[in-house]
């Protein structure tokens, strides 16, 4: 959604810029400083940008419907402006992320509980090797005897203590129970280790993609996009002075447009991979703060 809206905004800005360049090309054509092909090329690219904007509008409606479905809202419910996530300081090492996942990741914690249950079953199976002591207390109501001659203890209820001892004579019979419990423990430990390994692999991949997206955002924001904007301004000025061809101006505009799209794509990828990494770790990586406004993609001046 962030990329679609940014791409639509960029396409609209570049379509407006191409209209200005087309007017300049028509003026240059009238003065025999440009060819008709240059004017047609500007018209073609302007039409392509407007077609891209229509496709982006349809994609936005599709994404809004899908997002409303996930939020249990009506399909036509409006979705407000979504700001791209700011670049956040990441943990210094993957080991920090692995430790967070081991402590908070749900699948790993479930596997840990499985190992604990299996160890309890092993301990329980070992208890069958030990003697079983039984201690009991019984009580019996005697009642009054129905005899003419009443005994001295007649009518007194009985109260006693019962002791018992069970010895495990068949040791081999319990060995199978112990072996089965140990096998279940080994299976639970293997399952836990498998989930730990899978989690670390996914974290490593997501962390690499996040770093790559962050590098792209910084590269295009601070270096490539400003250079492309400056080159477009210079080329436009040279074209108006007659020192550059219109094809050079169109190429500079196309480069600036593509760099803007690449930056928007990198920002969206950064947010997606950051959310993916937090889900894999099972814990927020940064404190939650107020949302920031989306950056404005300005266009170079005339």
- Residue 90: pLDDT over 70: yes
Average pLDDT over residues 48-58: 79
Q: 231 or 118: whose pLDDT is higher? A: 231
* Nearest CA among 270, 218, 243, 249 for reference residue 14: 249
Q: What is the pLDDT of residue 37?
A: 64
- Residue 114: pLDDT over 70: yes
Classify each residue of 88-98 as buried b or exposed e, where b means 16 or more C-beta atoms within 10 Å of its C-beta. eebeeeeeebb
Q: What is the pLDDT of residue 32?
A: 60
Cβ atoms of 80 and 67 within 8 Å: the answer is no
- Residue 153: pLDDT over 80: no
**Which of 103-117, 145-159, 170-184, 256-270 is predicted with the least confidence, judged by mean pLDDT?**
145-159
Q: Using one digit for the tens of pLDDT, what is the confidence trace for 192-206?
A: 888 888 888 988 998
Q: What is the pLDDT of residue 246?
A: 72
Question: Tokens 């477009």 — which residue?
Answer: 232
- Residue 291: pLDDT over 60: no
Contact partners, residue 302, CB within 8 Å, separation at least 6: 20, 236
- Residue 10: pLDDT over 60: yes
Neighbours of 255 (CB within 10 A): 18
Contact partners, residue 21, CB within 8 Å, separation at least 6: 42, 236, 246, 249, 250, 253
Q: Using one digit for the tens of pLDDT, what is the confidence trace for 220-229?
A: 989 999 999 8
Average pLDDT over residues 12-30: 70
Q: Report pTM.
A: 0.64
- Residue 22: pLDDT over 80: no
Q: Helix, strand, or coil here: 281?
A: helix
Question: Cα–Cα distance between 271 and 202 in angstroms, integer?
Answer: 17
Q: Helix, strand, or coil here: 199?
A: helix
Question: Cα–Cα distance between 195 and 169 in angstroms, integer?
Answer: 42
Average pLDDT over residues 281-302: 55
Q: Using one digit for the tens of pLDDT, what is the confidence trace for 77-87?
A: 888 777 776 77
* Nearest CA among 70, 2, 110, 85 for reference residue 278: 85
Q: What is the pLDDT of residue 216?
A: 92
Q: 201 or 167: whose pLDDT is higher? A: 201
Q: How many angstroms separate the first and last alpha carbons of the chain?
A: 31
| Per-domain boundaries in the chain | 1-82
* Pairing assessment for the beta strands 132-140 and 158-166 based on DSSP bridges: antiparallel
């Amino acid at each position: 959604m962030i990329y679609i809206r940014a791409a639509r905004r960029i396409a609209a800005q570049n379509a407006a810029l191409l209209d200005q360049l087309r007017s300049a090309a028509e003026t240059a054509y009238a003065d025999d400083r440009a060819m008709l092909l240059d004017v047609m090329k500007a018209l073609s690219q302007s039409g392509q940008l407007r077609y891209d904007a229509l496709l982006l509008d349809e994609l936005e409606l599709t994404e809004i419907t899908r997002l409303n479905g996930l939020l249990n809202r009506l399909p036509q419910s409006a979705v407000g402006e979504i700001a791209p996530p700011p670049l956040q300081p990441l943990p210094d090492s993957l080991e920090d992320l692995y430790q967070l996942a081991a402590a908070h990741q749900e699948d790993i914690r479930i596997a840990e509980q499985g190992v604990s249950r299996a160890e309890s079953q092993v301990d329980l199976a070992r208890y069958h090797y030990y003697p079983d002591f039984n201690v009991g207390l019984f009580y019996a109501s005697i009642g009054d005897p129905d005899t003419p001659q009443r005994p001295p203890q007649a009518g007194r209820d009985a109260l006693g203590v019962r002791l018992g001892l069970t010895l495990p004579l068949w040791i081999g019979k319990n060995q199978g129970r112990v072996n089965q419990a140990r096998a279940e423990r080994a299976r639970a430990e293997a399952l836990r280790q498998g989930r730990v390994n899978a989690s670390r692999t996914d974290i490593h991949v997501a962390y690499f993609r996040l770093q790559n997206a962050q590098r792209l955002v910084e590269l295009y924001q601070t270096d490539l996009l400003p250079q492309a904007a400056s080159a477009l301004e210079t080329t436009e000025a040279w074209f108006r002075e007659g020192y550059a061809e219109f094809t050079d101006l169109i190429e500079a505009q196309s480069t600036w447009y593509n760099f803007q799209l690449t930056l928007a794509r990198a920002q969206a990828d950064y947010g997606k991979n950051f959310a993916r990494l937090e889900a894999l770790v099972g814990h927020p990586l940064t404190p939650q703060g107020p949302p920031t406004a989306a950056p404005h993609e300005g266009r170079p001046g005339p």
